[in-house]
Amino acid sequence: MKEISNSNPNVKIIRVDLPGEGGAYHEYVILDPNVADKSGQFARIKFQKGPLKEINLNGCFQEDLIEICIDRLRCFQQGAFSCRENAIALTKLEEALMWLNSRTKDRVKRGVEGKLKK
């Protein structure tokens, strides 16, 4: 377990597992830093561990979390908290999603999507 740096002093983010074959971690918890025990945990994120074509679905993808953030910012932009900063963040998240989807399309085209191949 290792705490990762984040810009929000109101939460602590811990990566729970060891990196997989691709070098990425698969499980994170978000905690209230003022609570010493597990009752301070209010979110646990489990990412897909292993390629889909070799292992069944067992977690979410970073694209899923980006989609959630996009939806949330769009809602803010339709309400009382609409602002330039939200609009810019929304644009950057949409761009990040576009690039991740572009990578996926390329992997599908090359026949390596869902496999442990570069």
Distances (CA, A) of 21 to 55, 104, 117: 14, 18, 10
Give yes or no: residues 96 and 48 share one domain.
Answer: no
Q: What is the Cα–Cα distance from 102 to 117, expressed in whole angstroms?
A: 17
Evaluate whether residue 69 is within a structural domain.
Answer: yes
Evaluate whether residue 115 is within a structural domain.
Answer: no
Closest CA to 87 of 96, 97, 77, 99: 77
Give yes or no: residues 81 and 44 share one domain.
Answer: no
Give yes or no: residues 34 and 71 share one domain.
Answer: no
Q: What is the domain count for the chain?
A: 2
Fill in the amino acid letter for 66. I
pLDDT (tens digit per residue) in 39-84? 889 899 999 998 888 888 999 999 999 999 999 999 999 999 899 9
Helix ranges (DSSP H) in 8-114? 62-77, 84-110
Give yes or no: residues 34 and 7 share one domain.
Answer: yes
pLDDT at 82: 96
pLDDT (tens digit per residue) in 93-116? 999 999 999 999 999 999 888 777
Residue 104's φ and ψ, nearest 5 degrees, are -60, -45
Evaluate whether residue 12 is within a structural domain.
Answer: yes
Domain enclosing residue 101, as ranges: 61-110
Give yes or no: residues 45 and 67 share one domain.
Answer: no
Fill in the amino acid letter for 51. P
